Amino acid sequence: MTPRCVGVWGKPNAVLFPDWAYKPAWSPGSRQVQLWHFLLELLGRGEGAAIGWGGEWGEFVIRDPERLARLWGERKGKPHMNYDKLSRALRYYYNKRILHKTKGKRFTYKFNFSKLILVNYPGYPVTDSSKITRLT
């Protein structure tokens, strides 16, 4: 079974994700969304003041760390969220290989899309990021 995919159009070299990557998760009181999914939502809908795609494929830049933390806190119902707490959550994803910090670039991270797809959509036929569909 091949999943239906949705494109991310923020960059000339966009990437296609399965539907689960952009499912709406903005229902009031829902605290189930994970940070990586929230970041993809913001990137997908163009929350450019706080976060945006940049650099290499899969790389994103946090343009306004405090604004991003405030948005994440609102989403999770945690009004005292700050960037220190949010960055701790980002570091949790390093060991899971969901994303990593881009060396030498402040507030810049890179998604490991093949890991995200394999973990969240095991039937998706991807073994490495070079096999994820790209639009050019």
The amino acid occupying position 11 is K
Answer yes or no: is pLDDT of 13 > 50.
no
Read off φ and ψ for residue 75, nearest 5 degrees.
-65, -40
Q: Tell me the helices (H) and strands (E) count for the chain, helix number first.
A: 4, 7
Q: Contact at 8 Å (CB) between 7 and 106?
A: no
pLDDT digits (tens, 9 = 90+) for 75-125: 999 999 999 999 999 999 999 888 999 999 999 999 988 766 555 555 545
Domain 36-135 has CATH 3.30.9.10: no
Q: How confident is the model at residue 1 (pLDDT cuts 50, 70, 90)?
A: very low
Cα distance between residue 132 and residue 17, in whole Å: 8
Distant-in-sequence, close-in-space partners of 40: CB < 8 Å, separation ≥ 6 = 17, 21, 22, 111
Q: What is the dihedral of CA 26, 70, 76, 111, to 10 degrees?
A: 80
> Which run of H or E residues covers position 74?
helix 65-76
The amino acid occupying position 48 is G
| Token representation of residue 38 | 């929230």
Answer yes or no: is pLDDT of 67 > 50.
yes
Structure-model confidence comparison of residues 45 and 88, the more confident one: 88
